[in-house]
Amino acid sequence: MMAIVIAGVIWATGWWINTKLANGPRSDTRAISLLIPVIFGVTIIAMWQVLVTMLGVSPIILPAPSAIAQRFVASIPMLWADFEQTILKGAMTGYVIGMIAAFAVALLADRSPFLTKGILPVGAFMAALPIVGTAPIFVKWLGSDWQSKAAVVGVMVFFPILVNTVAGLKDTSAMQRDLMRTYGAGYWPTLLKLRLPAALPFIFNGLKIATTLALIGAIVAEFFGSPTVGMGFRISTSVGQLALDMVWAEIVVAALAGSAFYGAMALFEKRVTFWHPSQR
Stretch that binds other proteins, among 22-30, 162-170, 171-179, 184-192 (CB under 8 A): 22-30
Stretch that binds other proteins, among 3-11, 73-81, 128-136, 147-155 (CB under 8 A): 128-136
250 binds other proteins (CB under 8 A): yes
Stretch that binds other proteins, among 72-80, 147-155, 173-181, 253-261 (CB under 8 A): 253-261
36 binds other proteins (CB under 8 A): yes
Binding mask 185-204 for other proteins (x = CB under 8 A): --------------------
104 binds other proteins (CB under 8 A): no
Angle of helix 65-74 relative to helix 76-83, nearest 10 degrees, comes to 80
CA distance 244 to 68: 9
166 binds other proteins (CB under 8 A): no
39 binds other proteins (CB under 8 A): yes
Q: Are 250 and 231 in contact (CB under 8 A)?
A: yes
118 binds other proteins (CB under 8 A): yes
The residue within the footprint of other proteins, chosen from 6, 11, 18, 66 (CB under 8 A), is 18
DSSP state letters, the chain = -HHHHHHHHHHHHHHHHHHHHHHSTTTTSHHHHHHHHHHHHHHHHHHHHHHHHHTT--TTT---HHHHHHHHHHTHHHHHHHHIIIIIIIIHHHHHHHHHHHHHHHHHHHT-HHHHHHHHHHHHHHHTS-GGGGHHHHHHHH-SSHHHHHHHHHHHHHHHHHHHHHHHHT-S-HHHHHHHHHTT--HHHHIIIIIHHHHHHHHHHHHHHHHHHHHHHHHHHHTT---S-SHHHHHHHHHHTT-HHHHHHHHHHHHHHHHHHHHHHHHHHHHHTTTSGGG-
Size of the site for other proteins (CB under 8 A): 63
Sites for other proteins among residues 210-239 (CB under 8 A):
211-212, 215-216, 219-220, 223-224, 231-232, 235-236, 239
Stretch that binds other proteins, among 45-53, 95-103, 192-200, 244-252 (CB under 8 A): 244-252
The residue within the footprint of other proteins, chosen from 181, 263, 268, 270 (CB under 8 A), is 263
159 binds other proteins (CB under 8 A): no
67 binds other proteins (CB under 8 A): no
CB nearer other proteins, residue 190 or residue 238: 238
259 binds other proteins (CB under 8 A): yes
Q: Are 180 and 123 in contact (CB under 8 A)?
A: no
In sequence order, which residues have a C-beta less than 8 Å from that of residue 151 and are 6 or more positions away? Answer: 94, 138, 141, 142
Which residues would be at the binding site for other proteins (CB under 8 A)? 15, 18-19, 21-23, 27, 33, 36-37, 39-41, 58, 60-62, 114-119, 121-122, 125, 128-130, 132-134, 136-137, 139-141, 211-212, 215-216, 219-220, 223-224, 231-232, 235-236, 239, 242, 244, 247-248, 250-251, 254-255, 258-259, 261-263
